[in-house]
């Protein structure tokens, strides 16, 4: 039976994929759309199962469970908009990132045996100290149109990242700028213009837009596995990136792309791909097959249904 789930708009792409689940999702909104209260923001083909609800009306509504997606949701928002009884509902916390304060010794803000803590990669769960909270891992699931196929006709690499300049070394803004001096790269995403990039491309247009590029470059040092990487793989782009975090379990050197901690080596590989479109085509096809196997949307939906069932049954088992 479909659940009535209250959650917040924290990560637009992820929320869109999450709402492919057969449940009713309610997004609180506030005037001016402050952080977490943007609701059905433009750029995504939201389904009829995604509803906006004024934040001050949330406490009067009936829900089956609550899904937190940020520290603010958990530490502040729930006490501002939920009733006391709603705060006793089955609860899940979706953690999008690895720990920021210290990579191994950071205790998660959720330390509650009654809250299911959902990590998006095994690397993230490994690094967080999740305390007494039961945990599970739900790897990404993405959708790209079947009609979109990689061509690689544009002898350039593409980087897709939001706010890469403001997020600095963690997202590799310095690496992007260094590599761009040696390899033709286009930057796409919010704030990309500040580094000479192309700016935002609507999410629905991204698959076809990036299909022309020879390869996808991921300059990120330390963050979660980007949805943009999964989407690029699903289109059929070969991936070049740093051998850090979860990407090391996704990309195989010489099979679906190249990963390394030696930036000079990665630059050489990118230059090779610019010269050899057939090699790029082969790597990209393998990347697409890997993505279809690992990041399919039905597997993602099934995993989330299992997590919701686990939370609703309150049969939460703390992982080692």
Q: Any residues with CB less than 8 A from the CB of 231 and at least 6 apart, and which?
A: 142, 144, 206, 207
pTM: 0.93
Amino acid 320: pLDDT? 33
Give the model confidence (pLDDT) of 77-118 as tens digits. 999 999 999 999 999 999 999 999 999 999 999 999 999 999
Give the model confidence (pLDDT) of 198-249 as tens digits. 999 999 999 999 999 999 999 999 999 999 999 999 999 999 999 999 999 9
Q: Which residues pair with 157 in a beta bridge?
A: 185, 215
Phi, psi of 262 (to 5 degrees): -95, 105
CB atoms within 10 A of CB 273: 24
Domains 4-141+297-313 and 154-294 belong to one CATH topology = yes
Mean pLDDT score, 274-295: 98
Looking at CATH, the fold of the domain delimited by 154-294 is given as Rossmann fold (3.40.50)
Structure tokens, 186? 């286009």
Q: How confident is the model at residue 164 (pLDDT cuts 50, 70, 90)?
A: confident
Q: How confident is the model at residue 71 (pLDDT cuts 50, 70, 90)?
A: very high
Q: Report DSSP letters for the chain, one per residue.
A: ---EEEE--S-HHHHHHHTTSSSEEEEEE-TT--TT---S-TTS---TTEEEEEGGGGGGS--SEEEE-SHHIIIIIHHHHS-TTGGGS-EEEEE-S--SS-TTTPBPS---TTEEEEESSHHHHHHSB-TT--EEE--------TT------EEEEEEE-SSTTTTHHHHTHHHHHHHHTTS-EEEESTTGGGGT--B---GGGHHHHHTTEEEEEE--SSSSPPHHHHHHHHHT--EEEES-GGGGGT--BTTTEEEES-HHHHHHHHHHHHH-HHHHHHHHHHHHHHHHHHS-HHHHHHHHHHHHHHHHHT------
Per-domain residue ranges of the chain: 4-141+297-313, 154-294
Looking at CATH, the fold of the domain delimited by 4-141+297-313 is given as Rossmann fold (3.40.50)
């Amino acid at each position: 039976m479909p659940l009535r789930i209250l959650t917040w708009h924290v990560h637009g792409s992820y929320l869109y994929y999450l709402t492919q689940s057969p449940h009713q999702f309610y997004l609180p909104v506030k005037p001016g759309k402050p952080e977490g209260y943007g609701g059905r923001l433009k750029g995504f083909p939201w389904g009829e199962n995604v509803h906006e609800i004024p934040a001050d009306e949330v406490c009067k509504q009936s829900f089956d469970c609550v899904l937190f997606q940020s520290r603010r949701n958990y530490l502040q928002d729930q006490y501002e908009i939920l009733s006391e009884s709603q705060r006793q509902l089955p609860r899940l916390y979706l953690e999008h990132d690895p720990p920021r304060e210290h990579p191994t010794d950071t205790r998660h803000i959720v330390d509650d045996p009654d809250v299911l803590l959902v990590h998006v990669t095994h690397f993230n769960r490994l690094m967080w100290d999740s305390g007494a909270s039961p945990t599970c891992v739900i790897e990404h699931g993405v959708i790209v149109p079947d009609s979109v196929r990689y061509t690689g006709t544009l002898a350039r690499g593409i980087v897709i990242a939001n706010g890469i300049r403001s997020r600095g070394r963690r997202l590799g803004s310095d690496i992007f700028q260094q590599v761009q001096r040696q390899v033709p790269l286009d930057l796409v995403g919010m704030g990309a213009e500040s580094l000479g990039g192309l700016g935002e491309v609507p999410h629905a247009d991204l698959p076809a837009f990036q299909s022309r590029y020879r390869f996808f470059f991921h300059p990120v040092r330390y963050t979660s596995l980007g949805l943009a990487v999964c989407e690029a793989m699903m289109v059929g782009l070969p991936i070049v990136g740093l051998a850090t975090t979860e990407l090391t379990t996704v990309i195989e050197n010489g099979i679906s792309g190249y990963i390394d901690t030696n930036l000079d080596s990665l630059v050489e590989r990118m230059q090779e791909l610019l010269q050899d479109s057939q090699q790029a085509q082969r790597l990209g096809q393998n990347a697409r097959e890997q993505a279809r196997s690992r990041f399919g949307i039905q597997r993602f939906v099934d995993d989330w249904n299992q997590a919701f069932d686990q939370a609703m049954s309150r049969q939460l088992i703390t992982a080692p």
